[in-house]
Protein backbone atom coordinates (compact mmCIF):
# COMPACT_ATOMS: atom_id res chain seq x y z
CA UNK A 1 0.00 0.00 0.00
CA UNK A 2 1.42 3.31 -1.01
CA UNK A 3 1.20 6.12 1.42
CA UNK A 4 1.36 9.54 -0.06
CA UNK A 5 3.80 12.02 1.35
CA UNK A 6 2.49 13.55 4.54
CA UNK A 7 2.28 17.26 4.08
CA UNK A 8 2.00 19.69 6.87
CA UNK A 9 0.82 23.21 6.56
CA UNK A 10 1.37 25.92 9.05
CA UNK A 11 -0.93 28.86 9.20
CA UNK A 12 -1.84 31.81 11.29
CA UNK A 13 -5.43 32.56 10.36
CA UNK A 14 -5.83 35.39 12.83
CA UNK A 15 -2.51 37.10 13.31
CA UNK A 16 -3.66 39.02 16.38
CA UNK A 17 -4.83 35.91 18.17
CA UNK A 18 -2.57 33.98 20.48
CA UNK A 19 -3.98 30.69 21.55
CA UNK A 20 -6.63 28.15 20.71
CA UNK A 21 -10.21 29.14 19.97
CA UNK A 22 -12.11 26.43 21.76
CA UNK A 23 -13.47 27.09 25.19
CA UNK A 24 -13.81 24.82 28.12
CA UNK A 25 -16.32 24.54 30.89
CA UNK A 26 -14.67 25.19 34.24
CA UNK A 27 -16.27 21.98 35.52
CA UNK A 28 -13.49 19.71 34.37
CA UNK A 29 -11.00 21.71 36.38
CA UNK A 30 -13.03 21.08 39.51
CA UNK A 31 -12.82 17.34 38.97
CA UNK A 32 -10.81 15.56 41.63
CA UNK A 33 -9.04 13.52 38.97
CA UNK A 34 -7.46 16.58 37.40
CA UNK A 35 -4.16 17.70 38.88
CA UNK A 36 -4.45 21.07 40.51
CA UNK A 37 -3.55 23.44 37.69
CA UNK A 38 -1.91 26.60 39.01
CA UNK A 39 -2.03 28.21 35.56
CA UNK A 40 -5.83 28.53 35.42
CA UNK A 41 -8.13 31.20 36.78
CA UNK A 42 -11.91 31.52 37.03
CA UNK A 43 -11.63 33.78 33.97
CA UNK A 44 -9.85 31.14 31.84
CA UNK A 45 -13.00 29.86 30.07
CA UNK A 46 -13.65 33.36 28.68
CA UNK A 47 -10.34 34.14 26.94
CA UNK A 48 -11.66 33.15 23.49
CA UNK A 49 -8.81 33.26 20.95
CA UNK A 50 -6.38 33.80 23.85
CA UNK A 51 -7.30 30.54 25.58
CA UNK A 52 -4.41 28.37 26.70
CA UNK A 53 -4.26 25.13 24.67
CA UNK A 54 -4.47 23.16 27.95
CA UNK A 55 -7.73 24.87 28.84
CA UNK A 56 -9.24 24.02 25.46
CA UNK A 57 -7.97 20.43 25.75
CA UNK A 58 -7.44 19.39 29.41
CA UNK A 59 -6.16 16.00 28.19
CA UNK A 60 -2.87 17.78 27.46
CA UNK A 61 -2.20 18.27 31.18
CA UNK A 62 -1.48 14.68 32.33
CA UNK A 63 0.63 13.71 29.27
CA UNK A 64 1.17 16.29 26.54
CA UNK A 65 3.01 13.82 24.28
CA UNK A 66 0.45 10.99 24.31
CA UNK A 67 -2.15 10.86 21.51
CA UNK A 68 -5.70 11.34 22.75
CA UNK A 69 -7.15 8.60 20.51
CA UNK A 70 -6.18 4.99 20.16
CA UNK A 71 -3.99 4.78 17.03
CA UNK A 72 -5.06 1.14 16.46
CA UNK A 73 -8.72 2.10 16.31
CA UNK A 74 -7.93 4.64 13.62
CA UNK A 75 -5.83 2.22 11.57
CA UNK A 76 -8.54 -0.46 11.73
CA UNK A 77 -11.30 1.79 10.49
CA UNK A 78 -9.47 3.25 7.50
CA UNK A 79 -6.12 3.51 5.82
CA UNK A 80 -4.49 6.90 6.12
CA UNK A 81 -3.08 7.90 2.74
CA UNK A 82 -2.02 11.45 3.43
CA UNK A 83 -2.13 13.88 6.28
CA UNK A 84 -2.69 17.59 5.75
CA UNK A 85 -2.69 19.59 8.94
CA UNK A 86 -3.48 23.27 9.20
CA UNK A 87 -1.85 24.34 12.44
CA UNK A 88 -1.86 27.56 14.42
CA UNK A 89 1.29 28.90 16.05
CA UNK A 90 2.16 28.09 19.65
CA UNK A 91 1.78 30.34 22.68
CA UNK A 92 3.19 33.79 22.00
CA UNK A 93 4.01 37.10 23.67
CA UNK A 94 1.55 40.00 23.42
CA UNK A 95 2.00 42.22 20.36
CA UNK A 96 3.85 45.56 20.61
CA UNK A 97 0.47 47.29 20.33
CA UNK A 98 -0.88 45.37 23.32
CA UNK A 99 2.30 46.01 25.30
CA UNK A 100 2.01 49.78 24.61
CA UNK A 101 -1.56 49.81 25.92
CA UNK A 102 -0.55 47.86 29.00
CA UNK A 103 2.22 50.37 29.65
CA UNK A 104 -0.31 53.20 29.29
CA UNK A 105 -2.53 51.50 31.86
CA UNK A 106 0.40 50.93 34.19
CA UNK A 107 1.29 54.64 33.88
CA UNK A 108 -2.27 55.57 34.87
CA UNK A 109 -2.03 53.40 37.97
CA UNK A 110 1.31 54.87 39.02
CA UNK A 111 0.03 58.42 38.52
CA UNK A 112 -2.95 57.95 40.85
CA UNK A 113 -3.44 60.70 43.45
CA UNK A 114 -3.24 58.10 46.24
CA UNK A 115 0.02 57.09 44.60
CA UNK A 116 1.81 56.47 47.88
CA UNK A 117 0.05 53.21 47.33
CA UNK A 118 -0.13 51.16 50.43
CA UNK A 119 -3.05 52.94 52.10
CA UNK A 120 -5.99 51.41 50.32
CA UNK A 121 -9.69 52.17 50.82
CA UNK A 122 -10.87 51.53 54.36
CA UNK A 123 -9.96 47.98 55.33
CA UNK A 124 -10.02 46.72 51.71
CA UNK A 125 -7.08 45.54 49.68
CA UNK A 126 -5.89 48.25 47.27
CA UNK A 127 -5.78 46.43 43.95
CA UNK A 128 -4.66 49.61 42.18
CA UNK A 129 -1.55 49.81 44.37
CA UNK A 130 -0.84 46.09 43.93
CA UNK A 131 -1.02 46.54 40.15
CA UNK A 132 1.11 49.69 40.15
CA UNK A 133 3.78 47.62 41.95
CA UNK A 134 3.29 44.53 39.79
CA UNK A 135 6.32 44.42 37.45
CA UNK A 136 5.56 45.11 33.82
CA UNK A 137 7.84 42.50 32.38
CA UNK A 138 6.74 42.81 28.73
CA UNK A 139 9.12 44.69 26.41
CA UNK A 140 8.62 45.97 22.85
CA UNK A 141 11.03 43.44 21.30
CA UNK A 142 8.70 40.60 22.35
CA UNK A 143 6.14 41.80 19.78
CA UNK A 144 4.01 38.69 19.29
CA UNK A 145 7.00 36.31 19.15
CA UNK A 146 6.77 32.64 20.06
CA UNK A 147 7.65 31.92 23.71
CA UNK A 148 9.43 28.82 25.04
CA UNK A 149 6.05 27.38 26.06
CA UNK A 150 4.95 27.88 22.44
CA UNK A 151 7.91 25.80 21.23
CA UNK A 152 6.82 23.05 23.61
CA UNK A 153 3.23 23.28 22.29
CA UNK A 154 4.49 22.58 18.76
CA UNK A 155 7.03 19.92 19.73
CA UNK A 156 4.38 18.00 21.67
CA UNK A 157 1.80 18.36 18.89
CA UNK A 158 4.30 16.81 16.44
CA UNK A 159 4.94 13.89 18.80
CA UNK A 160 1.19 13.30 19.28
CA UNK A 161 0.50 13.33 15.53
CA UNK A 162 3.41 10.99 14.82
CA UNK A 163 2.15 8.46 17.41
CA UNK A 164 -1.40 8.76 16.11
CA UNK A 165 -0.41 7.94 12.49
CA UNK A 166 2.59 5.62 12.84
CA UNK A 167 2.33 4.35 9.24
CA UNK A 168 2.29 7.83 7.72
CA UNK A 169 5.15 8.94 9.92
CA UNK A 170 7.31 5.95 9.04
CA UNK A 171 11.02 6.59 8.72
CA UNK A 172 10.86 6.17 4.93
CA UNK A 173 8.28 8.94 4.69
CA UNK A 174 10.32 11.33 6.82
CA UNK A 175 12.16 12.89 3.90
CA UNK A 176 8.88 13.48 2.03
CA UNK A 177 7.37 15.68 4.67
CA UNK A 178 6.77 19.30 3.64
CA UNK A 179 6.10 22.15 5.96
CA UNK A 180 4.80 25.48 4.68
CA UNK A 181 4.54 28.53 6.89
CA UNK A 182 3.72 32.22 6.71
CA UNK A 183 6.60 34.66 7.15
CA UNK A 184 5.41 35.67 10.64
CA UNK A 185 8.23 35.04 13.09
CA UNK A 186 6.01 33.09 15.49
CA UNK A 187 4.88 30.82 12.63
CA UNK A 188 8.38 30.18 11.24
CA UNK A 189 9.55 29.40 14.79
CA UNK A 190 6.50 27.19 15.39
CA UNK A 191 7.33 25.25 12.22
CA UNK A 192 10.91 24.76 13.34
CA UNK A 193 9.78 23.57 16.79
CA UNK A 194 7.33 21.15 15.15
CA UNK A 195 10.13 19.67 13.01
CA UNK A 196 12.33 19.34 16.08
CA UNK A 197 9.52 17.41 17.77
CA UNK A 198 9.39 15.06 14.79
CA UNK A 199 13.16 14.65 14.91
CA UNK A 200 12.76 13.37 18.47
CA UNK A 201 10.19 10.87 17.17
CA UNK A 202 12.69 9.47 14.66
CA UNK A 203 15.81 9.83 16.78
CA UNK A 204 14.72 9.30 20.39
CA UNK A 205 17.23 10.59 22.90
CA UNK A 206 19.27 12.61 20.41
CA UNK A 207 19.26 16.41 20.59
CA UNK A 208 17.65 17.84 17.42
CA UNK A 209 19.99 19.64 14.96
CA UNK A 210 19.23 22.98 13.34
CA UNK A 211 16.18 22.69 11.05
CA UNK A 212 18.36 23.60 8.06
CA UNK A 213 20.25 20.32 8.60
CA UNK A 214 17.17 18.11 8.77
CA UNK A 215 16.16 15.61 6.05
CA UNK A 216 12.95 17.46 5.24
CA UNK A 217 14.61 20.88 5.15
CA UNK A 218 13.46 24.06 6.91
CA UNK A 219 9.84 25.31 6.73
CA UNK A 220 9.07 26.96 3.38
CA UNK A 221 7.63 30.45 3.53
CA UNK A 222 4.57 31.10 1.38
CA UNK A 223 2.52 34.14 2.44
CA UNK A 224 0.27 34.07 -0.60
CA UNK A 225 -0.97 30.68 0.55
CA UNK A 226 -0.82 31.02 4.33
CA UNK A 227 -1.75 34.71 4.73
CA UNK A 228 -4.35 34.63 1.98
CA UNK A 229 -6.28 37.50 3.64
CA UNK A 230 -3.31 39.85 3.11
CA UNK A 231 -3.41 39.07 -0.62
CA UNK A 232 -7.13 39.43 -1.23
CA UNK A 233 -7.90 42.91 -2.65
CA UNK A 234 -11.62 42.70 -1.89
CA UNK A 235 -10.99 41.76 1.75
CA UNK A 236 -8.38 44.50 2.17
CA UNK A 237 -10.65 47.21 0.70
CA UNK A 238 -13.96 46.19 2.21
CA UNK A 239 -12.85 44.93 5.64
CA UNK A 240 -9.21 45.32 6.68
CA UNK A 241 -8.68 48.93 5.60
CA UNK A 242 -12.32 49.98 5.93
CA UNK A 243 -12.80 52.23 8.95
CA UNK A 244 -16.51 51.42 9.24
CA UNK A 245 -16.40 47.65 8.62
CA UNK A 246 -16.33 46.90 12.36
CA UNK A 247 -19.07 49.34 13.32
CA UNK A 248 -20.87 46.72 15.44
CA UNK A 249 -17.67 46.26 17.44
CA UNK A 250 -17.30 50.02 17.92
CA UNK A 251 -20.94 50.26 19.04
CA UNK A 252 -20.42 47.52 21.63
CA UNK A 253 -17.24 49.20 22.90
CA UNK A 254 -19.22 52.33 23.79
CA UNK A 255 -22.43 50.51 24.74
CA UNK A 256 -23.96 50.10 28.23
CA UNK A 257 -22.31 46.73 29.02
CA UNK A 258 -18.80 48.12 28.45
CA UNK A 259 -19.63 51.40 30.20
CA UNK A 260 -20.59 49.45 33.32
CA UNK A 261 -17.23 47.66 33.31
CA UNK A 262 -15.33 50.94 32.75
CA UNK A 263 -17.06 52.51 35.77
CA UNK A 264 -16.48 49.43 37.92
CA UNK A 265 -12.78 49.13 37.00
CA UNK A 266 -12.23 52.90 37.47
CA UNK A 267 -13.68 52.62 41.00
CA UNK A 268 -11.68 49.47 41.82
CA UNK A 269 -8.38 50.88 40.58
CA UNK A 270 -9.13 54.46 41.69
CA UNK A 271 -8.37 56.04 38.32
CA UNK A 272 -10.55 58.57 36.44
CA UNK A 273 -13.09 56.75 34.27
CA UNK A 274 -12.37 59.19 31.41
CA UNK A 275 -8.81 57.85 31.19
CA UNK A 276 -10.06 54.33 30.54
CA UNK A 277 -11.52 52.84 27.37
CA UNK A 278 -12.61 49.42 26.09
CA UNK A 279 -9.22 48.72 24.45
CA UNK A 280 -7.31 49.30 27.69
CA UNK A 281 -9.77 47.13 29.62
CA UNK A 282 -9.43 44.34 27.08
CA UNK A 283 -5.64 44.43 27.31
CA UNK A 284 -5.85 44.24 31.11
CA UNK A 285 -8.12 41.18 30.75
CA UNK A 286 -5.76 39.45 28.30
CA UNK A 287 -2.77 40.24 30.52
CA UNK A 288 -4.28 37.86 33.08
CA UNK A 289 -4.29 35.24 30.31
CA UNK A 290 -0.77 36.02 29.04
CA UNK A 291 0.72 35.91 32.56
CA UNK A 292 -0.95 32.52 33.13
CA UNK A 293 -0.02 31.02 29.76
CA UNK A 294 3.55 32.36 29.49
CA UNK A 295 4.74 32.61 33.09
CA UNK A 296 2.31 30.32 34.86
CA UNK A 297 1.54 33.05 37.40
CA UNK A 298 -1.84 34.37 38.46
CA UNK A 299 -1.29 38.11 38.33
CA UNK A 300 -3.42 40.71 40.15
CA UNK A 301 -4.85 41.58 36.70
CA UNK A 302 -6.99 38.45 37.12
CA UNK A 303 -8.57 39.99 40.27
CA UNK A 304 -9.79 43.09 38.44
CA UNK A 305 -12.64 41.22 36.72
CA UNK A 306 -15.47 38.95 37.83
CA UNK A 307 -17.28 36.33 35.73
CA UNK A 308 -19.91 38.79 34.48
CA UNK A 309 -17.18 41.16 33.25
CA UNK A 310 -15.42 38.20 31.62
CA UNK A 311 -18.58 37.29 29.69
CA UNK A 312 -18.84 40.83 28.30
CA UNK A 313 -15.14 40.91 27.33
CA UNK A 314 -15.39 37.45 25.77
CA UNK A 315 -18.30 38.73 23.69
CA UNK A 316 -16.33 41.80 22.60
CA UNK A 317 -13.49 39.62 21.27
CA UNK A 318 -15.92 37.18 19.62
CA UNK A 319 -17.71 40.07 17.94
CA UNK A 320 -14.46 41.42 16.53
CA UNK A 321 -13.38 38.01 15.20
CA UNK A 322 -16.88 37.47 13.76
CA UNK A 323 -16.70 40.61 11.62
CA UNK A 324 -13.00 40.49 10.81
CA UNK A 325 -12.32 36.76 10.32
CA UNK A 326 -15.61 34.90 10.65
CA UNK A 327 -19.07 34.87 9.14
CA UNK A 328 -19.73 38.63 9.31
CA UNK A 329 -18.64 39.34 5.74
CA UNK A 330 -18.72 36.66 3.01
CA UNK A 331 -15.32 37.74 1.69
CA UNK A 332 -13.71 36.80 5.04
CA UNK A 333 -14.13 33.09 4.36
CA UNK A 334 -13.94 33.33 0.57
CA UNK A 335 -10.44 34.79 0.82
CA UNK A 336 -9.31 31.33 2.06
CA UNK A 337 -10.42 29.55 -1.15
CA UNK A 338 -6.88 29.52 -2.59
CA UNK A 339 -5.61 27.68 0.49
CA UNK A 340 -8.42 25.13 0.42
CA UNK A 341 -7.94 24.59 -3.31
CA UNK A 342 -4.30 23.81 -2.61
CA UNK A 343 -5.22 21.34 0.13
CA UNK A 344 -7.81 19.53 -2.01
CA UNK A 345 -5.45 19.33 -4.97
CA UNK A 346 -2.90 17.57 -2.77
CA UNK A 347 -5.54 15.17 -1.44
CA UNK A 348 -6.76 14.40 -4.98
CA UNK A 349 -3.20 13.76 -6.11
CA UNK A 350 -2.57 11.39 -3.21
CA UNK A 351 -5.70 9.37 -4.04
CA UNK A 352 -4.82 9.29 -7.74
CA UNK A 353 -1.31 8.01 -6.97
CA UNK A 354 -2.68 5.34 -4.68
CA UNK A 355 -5.13 4.13 -7.33
CA UNK A 356 -2.42 4.00 -9.96
CA UNK A 357 -0.26 1.89 -7.65
CA UNK A 358 -3.16 -0.50 -7.06
CA UNK A 359 -3.68 -0.87 -10.82
CA UNK A 360 -0.02 -1.76 -11.29
CA UNK A 361 -0.28 -4.37 -8.53
CA UNK A 362 -3.34 -5.96 -10.22
C1 LIG B 1 -17.04 49.57 4.47
O2 LIG B 1 -17.93 48.82 5.31
C3 LIG B 1 -19.26 49.28 5.29
C4 LIG B 1 -20.01 48.42 6.29
O5 LIG B 1 -19.97 47.07 5.93
C6 LIG B 1 -19.82 49.19 3.87
O7 LIG B 1 -21.14 49.70 3.84
C8 LIG B 1 -18.94 49.96 2.91
O9 LIG B 1 -19.38 49.74 1.59
C10 LIG B 1 -17.51 49.49 3.04
N11 LIG B 1 -16.63 50.34 2.23
C12 LIG B 1 -15.91 49.87 1.20
C13 LIG B 1 -14.98 50.84 0.54
O14 LIG B 1 -16.00 48.72 0.80
Of 241, 243, 245, 330, best ligand 1 pocket probe by most atoms within 8 Å of the beta carbon: 245
61 contacts 31 by C-beta, under 8 angstroms: no
Confidence of residue 14 (pLDDT cuts 50, 70, 90): very low
In tens, the pLDDT along 190-247 reads 999 999 999 999 998 888 888 888 877 889 999 999 999 999 999 999 999 999 999 9
Q: Is 201 a catalytic residue?
A: no
Q: Which atom of ligand 1 is nearest to the CA of 247?
A: 4
pLDDT per position as a tens digit, 81-90: 899 999 999 9
Per-residue pLDDT reduced to its tens digit, 202-217: 998 888 888 888 877 8
Counting ligand 1 atoms within 8 A of each CB, the residue from 234, 242, 323 with the most, and so the one to mutate, is 242
| pTM, two decimal places | 0.84
- Alpha-carbon span 329 to 334, nearest angstrom: 9
**Does position 314 have pLDDT exceeding 80, yes or no?**
yes
The strands making up 178-181's β-sheet, listed across from edge to edge, are 84-87, 7-10, 178-181, 220-221
Q: Which H or E run includes 315?
A: helix 307-324
Amino acid sequence: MLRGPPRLLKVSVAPVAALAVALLSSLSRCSLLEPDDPAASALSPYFGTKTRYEDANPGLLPDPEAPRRDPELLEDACTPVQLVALIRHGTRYPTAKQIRKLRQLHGLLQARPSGDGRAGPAGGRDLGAALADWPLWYADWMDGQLVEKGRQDMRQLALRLASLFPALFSLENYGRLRLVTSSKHRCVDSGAAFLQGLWEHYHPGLPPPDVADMECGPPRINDKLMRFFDHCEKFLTEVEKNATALYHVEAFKTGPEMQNILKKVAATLQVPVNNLNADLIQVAFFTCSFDLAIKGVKSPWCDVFDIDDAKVLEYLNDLKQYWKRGYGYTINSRSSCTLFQDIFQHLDKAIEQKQRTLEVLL
